[in-house]
Amino acid sequence: MKVVEFLKIGQEMLKLMSLFDLRRDDYKHIELYEEYMMLRGEGEKVDYILATLSSKYNVSESTIKRIVKRLSKEVK
């Protein structure tokens, strides 16, 4: 399969991602985001969540904050 053939398969999704200013690597953070939201829903403190997820996913707490902020935005 050539690159152009692969791009054609996902062309509409890629157009939407570009339109909504989504990053191509955001899919990597879906599990982290969902776990963050689950822990928040259970009433855990943000500092505890950040420390726990930072250790689990090997990313900084500020990176987690950016991920959560970016993935929580409404698509317009």
In this predicted structure, what is the pLDDT of residue 19?
87
Read off the pTM.
0.82
Instruction: Give the whole-angstrom CA distance, residue 70 versus residue 26.
Output: 9
Tens digits of per-residue pLDDT, 31-42?
A: 999 999 999 999
Low-confidence ranges of the chain (pLDDT < 70): none
**Are the CB atoms for 17 and 24 separated by under 8 Å?**
yes
**Cβ–Cβ contacts within 10 Å for residue 36, how many?**
24
In this predicted structure, what is the pLDDT of residue 22?
86
Residues in contact with 56: Cβ distance below 8 Å, sequence separation at least 6, in sequence order: none
